[in-house]
């Protein structure tokens, strides 16, 4: 790799970190180069060096940086991933909520999926909350899913998934909460039923923003497997801002690799990856 390419790559990594919080280590330079090649070709440029130079100089279309962020961010997601979190949601969090409702608290449960990707986490929570409501063990609920990637937000809003993505969803829940179609254009795919979709909203949000346009009476915030990409200062800032949106007694749920990175005076660890606001 030429010195010019290395310098451009370093500047690019600095730009991505400042905007998204994602720290791309130097050894990921080759991965960056591979993922950017399609953009190099799209603009008819000779190489990655030329592309990065134009991107950093602001010579490409305004939405190009968003395209790049989509390419380099990880969008791994699946239904019922880390399933014990959803068991905790029903067995502990909802039980506490219903006791509060009986004591006069708001009978509406709010959950925020703060790195929603294409929506599997949010819709998993929706199925769990709706099942509890139907069984008389829950209440009305609302879910907000947010993501840095506009492309992921649009896919989550569409709520259409390949059938092989549903293998982790119990069969009874597949039958109740997913629809198939005879339309050949969506063969092999299923869509979340309207009854769930109407209570789940998605929108773009950058966790690096200093303020979030989100309610401050949220019962649960799920931010799983994203803090690991941030440096320590950004981790602390994000956790602090998210905590401000939780009700007292609300919960922050993180990924298994992140239990040691959550440090906040208002959060008490109640499970390895679950923290309660005091």
Task: Output the pLDDT for position 214.
Answer: 98
Read off the tokens for 166.
Answer: 């549903």
Return the active site residues: 35, 147
Within the chain, residue ranges assigned H as helices are: 3-20, 29-42, 48-56, 64-72, 84-88, 94-102, 120-134, 150-158, 171-177, 194-197, 232-243
pLDDT tens digits, one per residue of 205-236: 999 999 999 999 999 999 999 998 899 999 99
What residue spans define the domains of the chain?
3-72, 84-277
Task: Output the pLDDT for position 5.
Answer: 62
| Maximum C-alpha span of the chain | 67
Q: What's the mean pLDDT in 67-85?
A: 85
Q: Do domains 3-72 and 84-277 have the same CATH topology?
A: no
Q: Which CATH architecture has domain 3-72?
A: Orthogonal Bundle (1.10)
Q: What average pLDDT does the structure give for the chain? A: 91
Determine whether domain 84-277 maps to CATH 2.40.110.10.
no
Rounded distance between C-alpha atoms, residue 133 and residue 34, angstroms: 47
pLDDT tens digits, one per residue of 90-139: 999 999 999 999 999 889 999 999 999 999 999 999 999 999 999 999 99
């Amino acid at each position: 790799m030429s010195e010019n390419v290395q310098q451009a790559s370093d500047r690019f990594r600095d730009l991505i970190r400042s905007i998204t919080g994602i720290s791309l280590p130097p050894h990921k330079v080759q991965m960056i180069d591979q993922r950017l090649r399609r953009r190099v070709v799209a603009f008819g440029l000779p190489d990655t060096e030329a592309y990065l130079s134009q991107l950093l100089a602001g010579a490409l279309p305004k939405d190009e940086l968003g395209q790049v962020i989509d390419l380099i961010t990880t969008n791994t997601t699946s239904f019922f991933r880390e399933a014990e979190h959803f068991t905790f949601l029903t067995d502990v969090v909802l039980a506490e909520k219903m006791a509060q409702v009986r004591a006069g608290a708001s009978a509406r449960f709010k959950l925020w999926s703060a790195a929603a990707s294409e929506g599997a986490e949010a819709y998993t929570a929706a199925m769990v909350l709706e099942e509890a409501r139907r069984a008389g063990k829950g209440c009305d609920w609302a879910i907000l899913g947010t993501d840095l990637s506009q492309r992921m937000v649009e896919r989550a809003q569409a709520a259409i998934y390949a059938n092989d993505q549903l293998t982790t969803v119990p069969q009874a829940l597949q039958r109740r909460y997913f629809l198939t179609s005879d339309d050949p254009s969506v063969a092999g795919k299923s869509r979340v039923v309207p009854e769930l979709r109407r209570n789940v909203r998605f929108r773009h949000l950058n966790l690096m923003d200093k303020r979030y346009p989100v309610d401050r009476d949220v019962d649960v915030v799920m931010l799983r497997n994203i803090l690991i990409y941030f440096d320590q200062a950004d981790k602390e800032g994000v956790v602090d801002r998210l905590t401000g949106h939780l009700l007292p007694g609300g919960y922050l749920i993180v990924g298994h690799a992140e239990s040691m990175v959550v440090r906040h005076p208002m959060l008490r660890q109640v499970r390895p990856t679950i923290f309660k606001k005091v």
